[in-house]
Structure 1
Amino acid sequence: MKQNIAIVMGGYSSEVHISLKSGNVVYNHLNKDKYNVYRVLILKEKWVVLDHNEKEYPIDKNDFSFIYKNAKVTFDCVFNAIHGAPGENGQLLAYFNLINIKHTSAPFYQMALTFNKRDTLSAVKAYGIQTATSIYINKGDFIDIDAIVKKVGLPCFIKPNNAGSSYGISKAHTKEAILPAIETAFKEDSEILIESFLDGTEVSVGVIQYQGKVKVLPITEIVSENDFFDYEAKYQGKSQEITPARISSIQEAKVIAVAKKVYTILNMRGFSRSEYIFVNDEPYFLEMNTVPGLTEESILPQQAQAAGITLAALFENAITTALKN
């Protein structure tokens, strides 16, 4: 009997349209001869299953089921393709845990931890992982621009603490630019992080569970046409993503070891893609994405294909791994 797989997509954040692209790519590549695959749109106003004609069938939140042709359909596994809340921050996964449905992401606590940039940095620094100097600010806190500059220097990055896809991130080159950048970040989140600028080669490292082992994928070098790897650079072709990265064998060995260590100490499962910047050959950890983009053009699928893993194999492996966990 074929297993029923729900691909959850959409979400409650600014990343809805990116999630829809990722979810549809997963839907198109999963083996329909092996699985009954359903797209589940999760929005604040509705949770619905979409059929091939885009007809909607409401989800019963009591057990995450729906009625199709007068029969109740339940799911064996959920493929999580929601970037941001509630898929990437652990909320939805805690719900699946409560109703005993397996899913392709890490446990809900790990997802919540890694979605919070400050807490992730605190966790990895305890294990000796190098990071940028940072300041954390809650909305309503007194903002001392001089103290910020004294600690992190200029230029510096201002970013929402709980957001993805570079929404709300700014690079401030002057003291005068910091306050407007803070206001921009607060539009996305009530908590923000201000970090020192690290001058060096930026790389993106995918780490996944594959065939029962933790696997570091070929490394991607990020070369942005803009001032940094912002939304335009990520999604509107304003960057070069070079896989494998043009880094030395020493740099490669170091970042592979650090990326695997970070994945392990954070007790991750499923997909992850983390960013690092090299400073004097040492990789500095920036952040981790636990629901990275999954379109054909996205970085992690590019890395998988460079490793000889097709999208169909990548997505099926996520499901088989989840069902075994």
Structure 2
Amino acid sequence: MKKNIAIIMGGYSSEHAISIKSGNVVHKYLDTERYNSYRIVITKEKWVYLDDSNKEFAVDKADFSIQPEGKKIVFDCVFNAIHGTPGEDGLLQAYFELLGIPQTSCNHYQSALTFNKRDLLSTLKPYGVHCATSYYVNHGQEIDEDAIVEKVGLPCFVKANRAGSSYGVSKVYQKEELTKALSAAFKEDDEVIIESFLDGTEVSVGVITYNNTVTVLPITEIISENDFFDYEAKYQGKSQEITPARISETQEANVRALAEFIYKTLGMKGYTRSEFIFIGDVPHLLEVNTTPGLTEESLLPQQAKTAGISLDQLFDSAIVEALR
């Protein structure tokens, strides 16, 4: 008997449109012989099921069910394709855990922890995970520009603490640019992390659970045409994404081991994609994404393809693992 799968997409953040693209790709490639898939678009204003003609049907939040044409449908599993809040920060994960509905991403605590860059890095540093030097600022606090520069140096990166797709990220070369960069970051979040510039090769590493085994996918090297791997570089072709990465055997072994260590240490499940920069042979962690992009052009699907895993196999595996 076919399983009913809700593909949730959209969300409340600046990544809404990117999430819609990811969700539609999942809907396109999910095996129709095994699954009935339903596109569920979540916004602050409404939660709705979109049928193939884009007609909307309200979602009953009491039990996460729908009634298109008067027939009630409940879901065996939720495929999470929401980037940002509320799908990547633990809110929906907790909701589905309370309802007892399996979902494809990590659990609510791991989602909340990894979405908060400051908390994630603070958690992993005692394990010996290398990171950039950082300085924290909250909205409304007095800004001491001299103290910031003294700690992290110039250039530095100013980042919204809880945001993705490089929204709210600026590279700052002069102390006088900090105010503008902080304003941009505070548009995305009321917490900011300012990090020292790491001058080295940037790589992205996907780790998934596939056939009940934690699997590190082929590594992608990131070469941005812009000043860093910003929104344009990620989504508008302003970068080279080379899989497998052109790194040494030592570097590859080090980053594969570290990515797997982070996945297992944090108790992750589902898909993750972590970003690192090498200083010599040592990978320094930037962030961990727990609902990475899932379009044909996105990094995790590129890595899976290089590993011989097709999109339909990749998406099927997420549901199989969630139901296991």
TM-score category of the 2 structures, normalised to the smaller one? over 0.9
C-alpha distance after superposition, 1:164-208 (max 9, x if no partner): 000010000111111110111001100000000000000000001
Report how far residue 303 of structure 1 moved. Answer: 0.1
Which amino acid is the alignment partner of residue 289 of structure 1?
N
CA distance in 2, matches of 1:140, 1:46: 31
Question: Within 5 Å, which residues of 2 pair with 1:193-208?
Answer: 193-208=193-208
- Cα distance, 1:253 vs structure 2: 0.3
- Could you tell me which amino acid in structure 2 is paired with residue 115 of structure 1? F
Report the Cα offset of residue 266 of structure 1.
1.2
Structure 1: distance between partners of 2:2 and 2:25? 20
Determine whether 1:126 maps to 2:150: no
> How far did residue 29 of structure 1 move?
0.3
Which amino acid is the alignment partner of residue 72 of structure 1?
Answer: K
**Deviation at 1:70?**
2.1
> What's 2:48 paired with?
48
What residue number does 1:232 align with?
Answer: 232
TM-score by length of 2: 0.99
CA deviation string 1:112-137 (max 9, x = no partner): 00000000001110110000000111
How far off its partner does 1:142 sit?
1.1
If the length of structure 1 is used for normalisation, what is the TM-score?
A: 0.99
Distance in 2, Cα, partners of 1:96 & 1:312: 24
The letter of the residue matching 1:235 is Y
**Is 1:21 aligned to 2:21, yes or no?**
yes
Provide the rounded CA distance (Å) in 1 between the counterparts of 2:215 and 2:34: 25
What residue in structure 2 maps to residue 75 of structure 1?
A: 75
Q: Report the 3-state secondary structure (helix = DSSP H, G, I; strand = E; otherwise coil) of the residue aligned with 2:246.
A: coil
Aligned to 2:32: 32
What corresponds to 2:220 in structure 1? Answer: 220
> Counterpart of 1:59 in 2: which secondary structure?
strand
2:114 counterpart residue number: 114
Count of matched residue positions in the alignment of Structure 1 and Structure 2 = 324
Report the secondary structure of 1:119's partner residue: helix
Deviation at 1:265, TM superposition (A): 1.1
Instruction: Measure, in 2, the Cα distance between the counterparts of 1:158 and 1:267.
Output: 29
Identity of aligned pairs, percent? Answer: 65
Hey, what's the Cα distance between the residues in 1 that align with 2:311 and 2:3? 19
Partner SS state of residue 69, structure 1: helix
Cα distance in 1, alignment partners of residues 172 and 296 from structure 2: 33
Q: State the distance in 2 between where 1:306 and 1:268 align.
A: 23
Unaligned runs of 5+ in 2: none
SS at the partner of 1:229? coil
Match of 2:169 in 1: 169
Q: CA deviation at 1:285?
A: 0.5
**Structure 1 outlier segments of 4+, above 4 Å:** none
Amino acid at match of 2:51: D
Q: Secondary structure at the match of 2:127?
A: coil
**Where does structure 1 lack aligned partners over 5 or more consecutive residues?**
none
Please tell me the residue identity of whatever aligns with 1:87.
Answer: G
